[in-house]
Amino acid sequence: MSNLSLVSMRRGFALARSARSTSMKLLIPLLVALSVVLGAAPPALAQALDAPRAPGPRGQIALRAEPPGAPVELAASGPDHVGSFTIENQGDGPLKVTRVIVRTSPEDPRVPPGVSVELEGGGTSATLPPGASRKVVVRWKTAGVRARELYGHVVVESDAVSAGAAGALGVARTVAMGIHAERGSSLGFVGDHILSILTFLPLLGVVAVFLAHLLRYRDDRKLRLMTVVLMGVNLVLAAWLYAQFDRGFTRADGNDGYQFIEHGVWIRSLNVEYFVGVDGVSISMVLLTALISFVGALASYSVHDQLKGYFAMYNLLVTGMFGVFIALDLFLFFVFWEVMLLPMYFLIGIWGGPRREYAAIKFFLYTLAGSVFMLLAFIWFYLNAGHTYLVDGQATERIFSIPELSRVAWAAQGLTILGVAAVKVVWIWLFVGFAIKIPMFPFHTWLPDAHVEAPTAISVILAGVLLKMGTYGILRINFTLLPEATQWAAPAMAVFGVVNILYGAFCAMAQSDLKKLVAYSSVSHMGFTLLALGAMTPQGIQACLVQMFNHGLITGMLFTLVGVVYDRVHTRDIDRFGGLASEMPLYTALVGFAFMASLGLPGLSGFWGEAMTFIGAFPRYRALTILAAVGVILTAAYHLWALQRMFLGTFRASWRQSKYLEPFGGKFPEISGRELASIAPLAALVLVLGFWPRPLLSLIDRGALDVHRLVDRPGQSQIAGAPGADGVGGAAYARAGAPEEGASPGQGALASAR
């Protein structure tokens, strides 16, 4: 073949390739345009096709504050708080700032009232040439405002572009700057950081134990006193927190209804924040933790071996418990949850009874299994959070903040997991993790073993506080983040609650071990919290919180009393006793008092949780409520039967020869002053709250209503059709079920406010 022919062929191939390339260039836009018409093209691509090309150089926006990497601090200036930050144009062209606003709305009041923002010199819009800057002034008028602190964002909208392909398309950017202000408290620094101090003060005990070990300090008895002092200080601080807590504070007052907030970036690479605060849902649990921790420290005087390790683990456990109830970041919540798990494992496994290793491993495996489900759910929330901001204003698509995640319309996203609606799957993951901790049937089997083998003080902590973490987690996370799924699962929660009530009561009646009886009574009583939650009425949610608090007081008292008799004769077998009333009259009176409170006798605090549960659940689940009422009869039966077997009748003379009673002349010694001191505060609260529950109810009223508005907001037809809708009854129903002016809207409206 000649060279001329080869050249001709090459030219032909080149022309063909050119023609094919040209045709493809024409065909691709036609196909894309057709797919846009048919709705098949990705939204971003469709927007890119419609977006005009950016003409010439554009501005680049940057926000600057001092110190960098933190929210703008608003300082007191007369009656107001004022702060500022700077908008800079770092681009090659002009920057048009179209709007500077506070990130809030009447439907979603993220910040307290009175916050305003404007550019220096006036207005909320301006045009900045290249290299220019403009100061933004933020002002918080605090007159008449309930909030003591302010956390929020100022959003700056502009025509700035980002670098790269998006910038070529002229996509506008929205940036934000965090703002923060503190109005101060009567305790100064301590008051401003009260929650962190409550949480981490026990760690001083851990450090002290470590130093004592390094220095070979021998007088371990001083460690007991140190722990009691630390828990006492925490109890005093918790009392101050109770006094300063604003009982009328709601979501409409800003800060998502939380008080005593501390908020900062913790792990920036993962968008994890140190975010703590309390509201009407958590404040009672913080107070309960402080009280039970103090009682547990007094009860720990019965421990005599390896005191350094015991009190190190005890103080670490208290830190984990406080942290769970104040954490408002899912990652932080999970860290505190796991911090609580480890010391409890060692406290049971080392200082427990004969089967302590078995009980500790069973507790650890059950709780760890629940933690795995929780972690899966938290990761799902994190990966699907959507556009939002960290506390300092850094934009992010992934976050662990509970208030920010509560604004996502999860159900409306239509996400699925293995073909099932993701919100249902994730709700179940969370519920299983929390139900194990409650414990709910059939995940309850770890509890009796753990209680029987644990030392007295740890049984007090376990029943008084740890069980409440399960129901608290459901309220704080399931109800707040997944209200639609909560509505779907509510009947199942109610059914499981009734099963717990009856099953736990029957099991308690069959026990001869006094500690196991109290343990199964806890299973039964925690069933009332599940039934109350399943009702999803304002009274039901409030009943759950009341039952959690009062059950903590009563079971703490019961387990302390069980420890009193066990320390004397090293047995808890009910059938081996009899006639103890003649030997220990004061102890008998206290046990009778605690039993009456546990069975719900009117005039004692245990009555209110059960009564309010019936009131809240009966309108929704009449048959289930009637079955739950049978549990009250069973509860009275096993308590009175145990009381008769132990304290009434004839005293067994064989006890006179017991080796354990030899130091006391063969007689049962009466309850001691130290033991009485650990029981007295619990008994006093049980009695006071039985006749006057308002101090507790006033703490939780607003929090219960805020949660109810999220999960069970009635429509207009329901309000209009309610009995007495045109009169007093209808107005009261509207206040309890419908959002007040400025209160938090539903999930869909909240999502649009993002």
State the Cα–Cα distance between residues 8 and 95, nearest whole angstrom. Answer: 56
Whole-model pTM?
0.85
**Domain assignments of the chain as residue spans, ordered by start:** 60-182, 189-652+667-710
Confidence (pLDDT) at 56: 64
| Phi and psi angles of residue 727, each rounded to the nearest 5 degrees, phi first | -125, -150
Confidence (pLDDT) at 51: 43
Confidence (pLDDT) at 173: 65
3-state secondary structure of 637: helix
User: For residue 357, which amino acid is it?
Assistant: E
Q: Which CATH class is domain 60-182?
A: mainly beta
Confidence (pLDDT) at 712: 77
* Count of all residues that appear for the chain in the document: 754
User: Residue 344: which of 372, 365, 370 has the closest Cα?
Assistant: 365
Confidence (pLDDT) at 270: 93
Per-residue pLDDT reduced to its tens digit, 62-87:
899 888 878 899 998 888 999 999 99
Secondary structure string (H, E, C) spanning 480-541: HHCHHHHHHHHHHHHHHHHHHHHHHHHHHHCCCEHHHHHHHHHHHHHHHHHHHHHHCCHHHH
User: In the block, which residue shows the tokens 């002009």?
Assistant: 94
User: For residue 519, which amino acid is it?
Assistant: A
List, for the chain, all residue ranges whose pLDDT scores fall below the cut of 70. 1-56, 161-173, 713-754
User: In the block, which residue shows the tokens 């850094």?
Assistant: 394
